[in-house]
Amino acid sequence: MNIVILLGAPGSGKGTIAVELAKTAGIRHLSSGDLLRGAVKAGTPAGLKAKTFMESGNLVPDELIADMIADTVAADKETQTLLLDGFPRNVAQAEILAKMMADNGITLRCALLLDVPDAVVIRRISGRRVCPACGAGFNVDSMPPKQEGICDACGAALIIRKDDTPETVQHRLDVYAAQTLPLIDYYKQANALVTVDGSHDDLDAKVREALEKIS
């Protein structure tokens, strides 16, 4: 297995492109946010612990998310390329991941940075709607559901995530700047950073191109 780490601010499009890329055989999308939201919904001990951190836009403790990622990776024998979306989120998590990869013979293909200005990110997040039943994502500007407020996939009423309110979004961007931005230098120094301009719509094609170049 090799890993592609997706780096980018909240709303930079990591999730959207990962879902697209995961339609390709052998590529799997693993989103730390989705894992955590699943645990919260299921009421597991990890989920109960994570809930308040998440609702306030803060990071959950490193070991909590690292253990969930490790369990998922260990159970995965089929995947050739794993797209890690949302993990690592700080340098401590990057070190945990490096050890996990070394222990399991997993290689780092690259850290792919989606570079998007804050103003674009804020606009994208404010349009974001999700389906609480099946997890499908929409955007009122760029990817509206066929019927307003209703999930195309399962017909449930769409919601705005609790951490997508304007105050929490600003806080998440601050957390990103303080905790996650240092990872850009971390992976640059490891010669693993590939940067893609994520402010346009043809993002998926650009990401594929970038991945083809480094495979």
Active site residue 14: yes
Active site residue 129: no
Q: Which is nearer to ligand ADP, 9 or 193 (CB)?
A: 9
* Measured CA distances, 205 to 27, 112, 155 (Å): 16, 14, 30
Give the residue from 64, 15, 66, 63 showing the smallest Cα distance to 40.
64
The nearest distance, CB 210 to ligand ADP, in angstroms, is 20
Amino acid identity of residue 185, one-letter, is D
Contact 32, 53 (CB under 8 A): no
Q: Which residues bind ligand ADP (CB under 6 A)?
A: 10-11, 32-33, 36, 53-54, 57-60, 65, 86-87, 89, 93, 163, 172
- DSSP state letter for 215: -
**Active-site pick, 109, 124, 128, 129:** 128
CA distance linking residue 95 with residue 134, whole number of Å: 33
**Active-site pick, 28, 37, 51, 89:** 89
Q: Which is nearer to ligand ADP, 70 or 212 (CB)?
A: 70
The nearest distance, CB 109 to ligand ADP, in angstroms, is 19
- Residue 92 makes CB contacts below 8 A (sequence gap 6+) with 62
The nearest distance, CB 25 to ligand ADP, in angstroms, is 25
The nearest distance, CB 57 to ligand ADP, in angstroms, is 5
CA distance linking residue 135 with residue 10, whole number of Å: 17
Active site residue 23: no
Active site residues: 14, 89, 128, 161, 172
